[in-house]
DNA sequence: CTATTAATAGATAATTATTTTCTTTTAGGA
DNA sequence: TCCTAAAAGAAAATAATTATCTATTAATAG
């Protein structure tokens, strides 16, 4: 967490308050917010925050592996500071996106490789259904 | 295939040449084209085709279950007239999107349901790797 | 502790994908 | 052949995202 400064230094990146706030917020939430949602949250404490800065920051954080981009099939991207490989589940009614935790589907890569001539590096798995509130 | 007319009639939809051409093209290809790619293809034979018509048509076709929308994590959607559940694989180098055929991952829904309180209806599974041309 | 500088923030304009609006055309039934 | 609701296509509007540009600032050096 405080090797964050180190990581940024290595990459010649500045650890600005804005970047720190965005990353900290992403670490604190499991809501998988979009850029817009991050912006709405952060602007409360950083009134000068611009949406462009949010976009630039999440891109930067993605590039250095601190957040992952999700695309659950909406018209926008969502972001997750939990960069471990894990499936996500989307509520078809309210739209919330949750993690599915404590399960390892990494065997799927090897399994799928039997049925294709690709070399498989990674996968994304999205489930769709109804959350406990909506069902 | 010719019950297409029937299906359209049931839904009070007109089977226009444009819709027919788009659907036929989607049936003929495994390239999982985006709206733009469909447009480029169709306009050769239908010079008056507009991109709006492509968008409207793929939405209509989706709604009646003749095509499925894919979102492999790009900034646009792709379309597939193969509506059977099957995983897709994206080449990280050239960007092509292929089907993974003859494999059934439907058990994943039940499996994942053990780790969440959602009722799971469906899933999308995207693999990422390098195709035979690129690796 | 201050000066320097390259990187960043934020405002704004530009892009890109997609949707909407509106008018003209047309598929399909009477 | 006529009628009409639905659709096509042109054009404008929206929404998400990216690029541009200038003022600011984090990090380093002196």
- pLDDT tens track of chain A, all 135 residues? 558 999 999 999 999 999 999 999 999 999 999 999 999 999 999 999 999 999 999 999 999 999 999 999 999 999 999 999 999 999 999 999 999 999 999 999 999 999 999 999 999 999 999 999 998
Residue B1 has what pLDDT? 55
Measure A36 CA to nearest chain B CA, in Å.
16
- pLDDT of B3 > 90? The answer is no
Residues B20-65 pLDDT 10s: 999 999 999 999 999 999 999 999 999 999 999 999 999 999 999 9
* Protein-to-nucleotide distance from the CA of B44 to the C1' of D3, whole angstroms: 33
Residue A119 has what pLDDT? 98
Nearest nt by C1' to A14 Cα: D26
Residue B2 has what pLDDT? 60
- pLDDT of B11 > 90? The answer is yes
pLDDT band at B96 (very low <50, low <70, confident <90, very high): very high
The Cα-based distances of A55 to A12, A66, A81 in angstroms read 19, 14, 15
Are the C-beta atoms of residues A25 and A41 closer than 8 Å to each other? Answer: yes
> Is nucleic acid strand D under 7 Å from B60's C-beta?
yes
* Protein-to-nucleotide distance from the CA of A13 to the C1' of C10, whole angstroms: 18
CB-count exposure of residue A95 (10 Å: 0-12, 13-18, 19+): exposed
- The answer to whether A27 faces chain B, any CB pair under 8 Å, is no
- The answer to whether B104 faces chain A, any CB pair under 8 Å, is no
- Where residue B26 falls (left for φ over 0; alpha for ψ -120 to 50; beta otherwise) is alpha
- The answer to whether B55 faces chain A, any CB pair under 8 Å, is no
């Amino acid at each position: 967490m405080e090797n964050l400064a180190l990581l940024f230094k290595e990459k010649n990146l500045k650890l600005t308050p804005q970047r720190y706030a965005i990353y900290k917020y992403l670490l604190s939430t499991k809501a998988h917010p979009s850029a817009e949602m991050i912006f709405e949250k952060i602007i409360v404490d950083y009134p000068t925050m611009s949406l462009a800065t949010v976009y630039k920051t999440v891109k930067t954080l993605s590039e250095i592996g601190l957040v992952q981009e999700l695309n659950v099939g909406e018209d926008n991207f969502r972001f997750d500071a939990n960069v471990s490989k894990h499936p996500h589940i989307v509520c078809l009614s309210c739209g919330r996106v949750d993690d599915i935790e404590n399960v390892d589907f990494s065997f799927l890569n090897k399994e799928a490789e039997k049925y294709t001539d690709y070399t498989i590096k990674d996968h994304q798995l999205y489930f769709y259904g109804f959350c406990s509130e909506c069902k």
